[in-house]
Amino acid sequence: MTTLEKVKTEWFSNVKGDVLAGIVVALALIPEAIAFSIIAGVDPMVGLYASFCISIVIAFIGGRPGMISGATGAMALLMVTLVAEHGLEYLLAATILTGVLQILFGVFRLSVFMKLVPRSVMIGFVNALAILIFTSQLQHFVGETWVMYSLVALTLAIIYILPRFTRAIPSTLVAIVVVTALAIFMNFGVRTVGDMGTLPSTLPIFLIPDIPLNLDTLAIIFPYSLALAVVGILESLLTQNIVDDMTDTESDKNKESRGQGIANVTTGFFGGMAGCAMIGQSVINVKSGATGRLSSLTAGIVLLGMIITLQGVVVQIPMAALAGIMIMVSIGTFDWSSLMNIHRIPRSDAAVMITVVSVVVYTHDLSIGVFAGIIMSALFFAWKISKVKVEEHFDMKTNAMTYEVHGQLFFASVEDYLDQINFDADVQKVTIDLSNAHLWDDSAVGAIDKTEHKFEQRHIEVAITGMNKESTKLMDKIGGLSKASGH
């Protein structure tokens, strides 16, 4: 496909579907962008600018047409302490640095390292995210009246029941409009978005964050940026795979990492918070008929148009409606099938998943949870693979013993292997059959040497057989003393 053809299919092969889906997404983005800003502790405009900038930039340079990116809960949750301790300007600087790290991630094609993140960690990640989004809403219920509770209930009822009758308009938008109208006309006096901060009435403008450019600043923002970059890439690549699967097409993972990075750099300079791909919005987008890049561009433009023209109304949205929507987002984010299947998956996987969730809920930091999960999975893996089975076959006639070794020989498993060899047996000849084993490192080579040495000390003839090519190579390289290495 030539570049021109590619541009044509990615942009204009589905104009009507993309534009309509883009409008639907823009409508659904508004309440989320506001709510995520409130989670992060910044003015709603920071999240709205972010969603606007990111969706426009990603439309042009993202790797996955049809995917929607913007301000997200996962990212917002990582920023809370930075904003609380140092303020908005540091968040913007951290956002730019996050983008730079993600660009590097893409340029050096590091998306292959995503393989190192086990599935049980990813499941723990989305479940922890869902729980955090839910608990972040509890503060809005403190000291509230039954009026607020019923508005939340009404919001949820509309969100879940309306789609049974029509799916033409997003039910979240209907819920927002109905609940806001009710609150205005009935004069309930409940807390609104306007009480949480100001909204933009202008286009975002280019600004360099007002911070001292020195090492102290870097020391403050770098840990946040690193966590944001990792979580952003993780959620973006997960979303990308989901959109790939829904549309039955493939897409460039490194291009997406780079695109996310450029989008975050841009967002930081235009006063928005760091964001990433949004699972929920991307699913809504594809379900609404989008396949191309035009959907993300439309979403961005419509979003900005609406926040500027409807600013006066947006400030009157009750917090109850937003809390309802966030509860819906958290229910949708949670992977319910993992709860239903938890008795069926291996115990170690379940333990990793639960650990990730617990660590994240305790630390409020998704990146720490993911890191803990990866380490724990690696340990479990090493533990499982370090089990070596040794079968004994004794030949009475020749007084010879054959040990058939099954498994992986490496630093963690050599003990287990040596324990199963009986060096004091009264035999004439011993054969170690390695046909079903693999030598991985120095310790493995050492164990084989030791085996030979010990038997020879006891004047028992030893033979090593069936060593595979790679293991033999390793033996040669490390220069084992064994006869099997050819020395």
Partner 1 sequence: MYKNILLAIDGSDHSYRATEKAIALAELTPDAAIEILYVVPGNKSKSDVLHYGDSDSASRKRTKMLQEYEKMIKEKSIPVETTVLHGKDGIAEAIIAHANEGGYDTLVLGSRGLSAVQTMVLGSVSHKVMKYVKAPVMMVK
Q: Would you mind telling me the total number of residues written for the chain in this entry?
A: 487
- Binding flag, residue 247, partner 1 (CB under 8 A): yes
| Residue among 195, 210, 245, 392 that touches partner 1 (CB under 8 A) | 245
At its nearest, how many Å lie between partner 1 and the CB of residue 248?
A: 5
At its nearest, how many Å lie between partner 1 and the CB of residue 286?
A: 5
Q: Indicate the residue among 129 and 317 with the shorter CB distance to partner 1.
A: 129
At its nearest, how many Å lie between partner 1 and the CB of residue 244?
A: 4
At its nearest, how many Å lie between partner 1 and the CB of residue 241?
A: 5
- Binding flag, residue 250, partner 1 (CB under 8 A): yes
* Site track for partner 1 across 136-165, x = CB under 8 A: ------------------------x---x-
- Binding flag, residue 391, partner 1 (CB under 8 A): no
Question: What is the C-alpha end-to-end distance of the chain, expressed in Å?
Answer: 56
| Residue among 147, 174, 220, 242 that touches partner 1 (CB under 8 A) | 242
At its nearest, how many Å lie between partner 1 and the CB of residue 167?
A: 8
Query: Strands of 389-395's sheet, edge to edge?
Result: 389-395, 400-409, 429-439, 461-465
| Residue among 248, 344, 457, 469 that touches partner 1 (CB under 8 A) | 248
Query: 3-state DSSP call for residue 410?
Result: coil
DSSP 464: E
At its nearest, how many Å lie between partner 1 and the CB of residue 66?
A: 10
Neighbours of 365 (CB within 10 A): 21
- Binding flag, residue 337, partner 1 (CB under 8 A): yes
Q: Indicate the residue among 250 and 395 with the shorter CB distance to partner 1.
A: 250
Pairwise CA distance, residues 49 & 29, whole Å:
11
Q: Indicate the residue among 122 and 319 with the shorter CB distance to partner 1.
A: 122
Instruction: Give Rg (Cα) of the chain.
Output: 29
Given a contact cutoff of 8 angstroms between Cβ atoms, the answer to whether 88 and 268 are in contact is no
Burial bucket for residue 283 (CB in 10 Å: 0-12, 13-18, 19+)? middle
**Of the candidates 356, 359, 416, which has an alpha carbon nearest to the alpha carbon of residue 386?**
416
- Binding flag, residue 69, partner 1 (CB under 8 A): no
Q: Which pair of structure tokens corresponds to residue 25?
A: 């997404």
Taking contact as CB under 8 A, which single stretch among the options 255-263, 283-291, 313-321, 386-394 is the one that binds partner 1? 283-291
Question: At residue 226, what is the residue type?
Answer: L
Pairwise CA distance, residues 30 & 28, whole Å:
6
At its nearest, how many Å lie between partner 1 and the CB of residue 235?
A: 12
Q: Indicate the residue among 238 and 432 with the shorter CB distance to partner 1.
A: 238
- Binding flag, residue 167, partner 1 (CB under 8 A): yes
| CA angle at 374 for the pair 372 and 380, rounded to the nearest 5° | 100
- Binding flag, residue 246, partner 1 (CB under 8 A): yes
> Where does 41-145 have alpha helices with state H?
44-61, 73-86, 88-107, 119-138
Given a contact cutoff of 8 angstroms between Cβ atoms, the answer to whether 286 and 12 are in contact is no
* Site track for partner 1 across 106-135, x = CB under 8 A: -------------x--xx--x---------
- Binding flag, residue 286, partner 1 (CB under 8 A): yes
Q: Indicate the residue among 95 and 295 with the shorter CB distance to partner 1.
A: 295
Pairwise CA distance, residues 18 & 22, whole Å:
6
Question: At residue 246, what is the residue type?
Answer: M
- Binding flag, residue 182, partner 1 (CB under 8 A): no
| Residue among 10, 89, 144, 335 that touches partner 1 (CB under 8 A) | 335
Name the residue with tokens 């020749």.
Answer: 398
- Binding flag, residue 244, partner 1 (CB under 8 A): yes
With a CB cutoff of 8 Å and minimum separation 6, the contacts of 378 are none
- Binding flag, residue 172, partner 1 (CB under 8 A): no
Taking contact as CB under 8 A, which single stretch among the options 180-188, 239-247, 269-277, 320-328 is the one that binds partner 1? 239-247
Taking contact as CB under 8 A, which single stretch among the options 33-41, 187-195, 334-342, 464-472 is the one that binds partner 1? 334-342
| Residue among 288, 355, 367, 431 that touches partner 1 (CB under 8 A) | 288
Q: How many residues bind to partner 1 according to rule CB under 8 A? A: 26
**Of the candidates 441, 448, 454, 460, which has an alpha carbon nearest to the alpha carbon of residue 417?**
448
| Residue among 177, 283, 313, 400 that touches partner 1 (CB under 8 A) | 283
- Binding flag, residue 252, partner 1 (CB under 8 A): no
Q: What is the DSSP string of 272-331?
A: ----EE-HHHHHHHHHTT--STHHHHHHHHHHHHHHHHTHHHHTT-BHHHHHHHHHHHHH
At its nearest, how many Å lie between partner 1 and the CB of residue 202?
A: 37
- Binding flag, residue 59, partner 1 (CB under 8 A): no
Given a contact cutoff of 8 angstroms between Cβ atoms, the answer to whether 128 and 360 are in contact is yes
- Binding flag, residue 279, partner 1 (CB under 8 A): yes
Neighbours of 324 (CB within 10 A): 26
Binding region for partner 1 (CB under 8 A): 119, 122-123, 126, 160, 164, 167, 238, 241-242, 244-248, 250, 279, 283, 286-289, 335-338
